[in-house]
Structures are given as C-alpha cells and as structure tokens.
Amino acid sequence: MSQYILRRLMIAIPSLLGISLVLFFVLALAPGDPFSELATNPNVPPEVQAALRAKFGLDDPIYLRYLHWLAAMAQGDWGFSFVSRVDVDTLILQRLPTTLYVVGSSQLLALLIAIPVGVYAATRPYSLFDQLANTFAFIGFSLPTFFTGILFILIFSVKLDWLPFVYSSVPGSGIPWLLEMIRQAIMPVMVLGLFQAASMTRFVRSAMLDVIRLDYVTTARAKGLGQAKVIVKHVMRNAMIPVVTLIALQMPAVFGGAIVTEQIFRIPGIGSLLISSILANDTPVVMAVTFVFACLVVLFNLIADVLYGWLDPRISFR
C-alpha cells in the first residue's frame, strides 16, 4: 500500500514537470510585462530598468528562464512577487488555508447532501421524492455560482442583513472570532456546496440505480437481510466506486469554481490572489498559484486511486 502510494507519487513528478513546462511557456507567450508600469514611469531611468530586468533574468531566452525557475523551485524558492514585494511562498501560504477551508467545507456539505438524497431517490425511482430531488438538482447545476452568489448576497446581506458579504481575514482567536469565521463562510460554502451537491446527487442516484438491479443485490434480498441492509451494505459500497472517480475528476472544476466564488465574496484565498496577479501581470505569482492548483488536482487523483482500491478488492496495489 505505502509502496503503491510512493510509486504513484513518483509517477506524479513527470506529470507535474509537464504541467509546469506548459504553464511556463503559455505565460511567457501571454501579453503583458511585469515592468510595463516601470517603463511608463518617467522617474525610473532606463539604465535602472535594464538592470532590474537583467537581475530577474527577464531578457534571457525562454528555456533558460524555465530552467532557472525549475532550479529555484526545486530548492524551495518559489520566486518573488513583483507587485507585493514579498516571496511568493509566503503569499500563497497566507492565502491557501482560506481556500482549502472554503472548498473543503463546501465539498463536505455537497457530500452530506448528495449521498443521502441520491441513495434515497434511487431506492424509490420516479417517486415524488425522486422527482423533487431531480428537479432541484437540475436547477442547482443550471445556475452558475456567480449568479447564485450575487443572489445570496442580495437576499441575505443586503435585504435581510443576516450575513456579512465581505470576508475578513484578520487573524485572531477566541470563540467570537471563530464564530465570525464560520458566519462569514456560510454563504460561499452554501453557493459552492449546493452547486456541487446538485451534480453529485445525480451521480450518486444513477450509480445506485446501476447497481440496484444487479444479480448480487437479488442474492442479498434472497437472504432476507432487509431493505436498509441490502442498500447500505450491498448497493452503496459498489455504487460509491464510480462516484469517487467522478468526484476526483471534478476537483479541477471545483477549484475553478472557487476562483469565481472567491472573487464574488472577496475571499482572500488563492483564487482571488490568482486573479489580482493576472491583472497586475505578476507572472511569478500566477505561475506559482496555477502550479499549486495543478498539484492539488494531482493529489486528489491520487487520493481517489487509493480510495478506489480500498472500496474495490478487485483492484490490488501492485
């Protein structure tokens, strides 16, 4: 098992290298120069500009720049933000916990809704409950988060004034601070979580329906186990195998959605960091943040593979 994980991590290295290569070249091709502001600033003499460019290696050929970046990265040097004038890793480490907190809670919420609703709907296909669940799921994944986000802000912040719509990241401690952290996360977590729950409910339902008519479910019924046990022990465990894969494959979309949601609720996570650094042409930060996203996606795929082997004994870790 641990050997399997180790081997999978080794395999992840070339794919991460490939991702970084593509990212780097695409960003190099993108228009915009981090020193464009400097160039138009008459107070900075051209010699200083040239010296700065040389210092950061901006005039080197692209492959050299990539190799520099890679060598620095391997030593744990993530680069230096041109705009914030701090190290990129400090910047990311400041922002990452917030994103993981919001995305993690919303995924948890989505699972807590999708699994019971999907399972129950599948045991009574075409019943009123199933039809209602299907309808809500349809509405849920038809409404984009940037729409529901603004709608939530309008209703719960502007009209009702129940929840804050600007996310504060002032560090603190104590119960009141903790409660405030939870309170301000409610809306973004709901928006992201419900959106995810909608499509997950459909996955769970259809996976359950695929399994429920299989022969071994009839075998289980013939043992007199009772509906609840047949569903939980014999159907659900098998139905979760494809669901795990689908959830893992959706992770890139989840982080993509989180970028938008962070922007709407002004959550200081890495999504909003990415957007502000793109707007400011802060290439090192853009590069690092996209690379962190890539690592997270690779990580979730690995987690899915491990879960897969745990759920399905036919897959062995060899």
Partner 1 sequence: MALLDIKGLKTHFSTDAGILQAVDGVDISINRGETLCVVGESGCGKTVTAMSILKLIAMPPGRIVEGEIMFEGRDLVPLTSRELDDIRAKEIGFIFQEPMTSLNPVLTIGEQIAESLRRHEPVTKKQALERTIEMLKLVQIPNAAGRVHHYPHQFSGGMRQRVMIAMALACRPKLVIADEPTTALDVTIQAQILDLLQDMKERFGMAVMLITHAMGVVAETAQRVVVMYAGKVVEEAPVDELFGNPRHPYTQGLIRSIPRIDLDAEHKTRLEAIGGSVPILINPPVGCRFAPRCKHAMSICTQKEPRLREIAPGHRMACHLGDAS
Binding site for partner 1 (CB under 8 A): 213-216, 218-227, 233-234, 237-238, 241, 311-314
Long-range CB contacts for residues 78-83, cutoff 8 Å, separation at least 24 = 78/284, 78/288, 79/284, 79/285, 79/287, 79/288, 80/56, 80/284, 81/277, 81/282, 81/284, 81/285, 82/34, 82/35, 82/280, 82/281, 82/282, 82/283, 82/284, 83/34, 83/277, 83/280, 83/282, 83/285
Nearest residue (CB) to partner 1, 176 versus 313: 313
Nearest-approach distance from CB 234 to partner 1, in angstroms: 5
Rounded to a whole number of angstroms, the minimum distance from the CB of residue 110 to partner 1 is 24
3-state SS class at 87: strand
Between 7 and 237, whose beta carbon lies closer to partner 1? 237
Nearer to partner 1, 183 or 233 (CB): 233
Closest to partner 1 by CB, 7 or 223:
223
Q: What angle do CA 59, 41, 37 make, to 5 degrees?
A: 55
Q: How far is the CB of 241 from partner 1 (least distance, A)?
A: 8
Q: Where are the alpha helices (DSSP H) in 88-174?
A: 88-123, 128-142, 145-152
Q: How far is the CB of 235 from partner 1 (least distance, A)?
A: 9
Q: Provide the minimum distance between the beta carbon of 214 and partner 1 in the complex, in angstroms, as a whole number.
A: 7
Interhelix angle 145-152/175-212, rounded to 10 degrees, is: 140
Nearer to partner 1, 220 or 288 (CB): 220
**Nearest CB to partner 1, comparing residues 39 and 232:** 232
**Min dist. Cβ of residue 303 to partner 1 (A):** 19
